[in-house]
Amino acid sequence: MVKMRGPLMSLTARGWLGRYQYMGYGFVLSPYPIGLLGRIKLWERRTAFGTLRPYFVPAWALRPYPGFISKYYSFKGWCYQMRRTWHGIIWSAIRPPISAGTDTLERAQWRDVFRLAVEAWQGLTDLQKKIWNGYNYPVHPSGYNRFIRSYIKQRYPMSALMPVYKQIWLQAEAVRAPGVNPAVYDDLGITGVWQFADGFTRVIHCKLPMVTDMDRTKDASFYLGWCSSAQSKNARWQVEYRVLKEDEDVSGAAEDTLTQTEASSATANGMVLSSFTIPAASIGVDDHCILFRVSRLGGDDLDTLSDVANLVGVCLHYQSDKLGDPV
C-alpha cells in the first residue's frame, strides 16, 4: 500500500482507492477518497449581504467542487510521481500536463518516435533485454524504461525544437562587380571591401542559395554590412532581387526594387547593418537561389555621406523550419 499526503487541507489519503487502476493503466481518475469531500467545510463570502457563510463541499453534482479543488480533481485523469525529499521518497498525485493541441506536428513526431522505440524493444533478443535489465543507471526504472529513454534521447524529433533564425554570410571577396558602374575592390585594415564612390551610382552583384531548411511561409531579410569614415551621415542604398527556380530565365528583370536610407555609425568605419525585407509571397517552395544587385545611389539628394561607402559583406537572414527536403 502506498501512503500519500494529499494537497487538500493537508488531508492524508491512501493509495488503495486507485491502486489497481494505476497498476493496470498508469493513472488514477480519483486519487483521494471522494466520500471525505462532503466533510470539508469552507468559508465563502455572500455577495448579496457581504457576510461569510459555511459551504460544505458536495461529493457529487454537476460541478461538485469549488474552483480551488477543481484543479486537483480533473476529468483529464491523474498520475503518480515519485519525489525525493529530505524525509525519503514519497508518492504524489499530480495532474499530467496535457496540451490542448493534440494533432500538432510535434506531437505526431513524438508519437512516431515512441512507437519506433517500442518496436525496437520488441525486436531485441532475451539476452539483449537482460543486459538492459542489468544496468545500474538509472537506478529505479526497468530495462524497458532504460531502453526507451536511451532510444528517444538519440532520436529527438527536430520539429520539437523551437524555431530558430539562421544566416548565410557572403564576405566581400565572394561578391562581384558588373561591367557597368562597378564598385572598386580595395583593402581596409586586415580585410577587403567594395568601395562605393560618393556622387555616383556604383553596383555589385551577388547570388545566395535558397537553403532547404528555410521556412518559405516567413519573410526573409537581406542585410548589407557596410562602413564609412564619415560619421552619422546618410547613405542611400538600393537592392534589386530576383528569385529563381529550375528552368527559369536568369536574364529576366528584377521582381522588386527596395531602397533605404541608413545613417553611418558614430564611430569612424563602424559596422552598420542595413536590412531589406523579402516577403514570403516572393519565395516559392521550388525556388533555388536569389539574385541580387546592390547599388549605392551616391548622387541622390538623400545621400549625404559625402564620402566612400565600404561594403564588407552581405547576408541572408531567414527562419528555419529544421525539416529540410524529405528523403
At 52 the pLDDT is 54
Across 21-35, 56-70, 103-117, 264-278, least confident range: 56-70
- pTM check: above 0.85: no
pLDDT in tens, 64-118: 444 444 334 444 445 556 666 666 666 666 655 555 556 677 777 778 888 888 8
| Length of the chain measured in residues | 327
- C-alpha 119/C-alpha 121 separation (Å) is 5
pLDDT at 35: 44
Structure confidence by residue, pLDDT tens digits, 302-313: 999 999 999 999
**Domains of the chain and any CATH numbers:** 3-94 (no CATH), 105-160 (no CATH), 164-320 (2.60.120.260)
pLDDT at 261: 94
Confidence at residue 36, expressed as pLDDT on a 0 to 100 scale:
47
Mean pLDDT of 7-15: 36
**Cell of residue 314, nine digits:** 552581405
Question: C-alpha grid cell for residue 315?
Answer: 547576408
pLDDT in tens, 209-266: 888 888 888 899 999 999 999 999 999 999 999 999 888 899 989 999 999 999 999 9
pLDDT at residue 182, as a whole number: 93
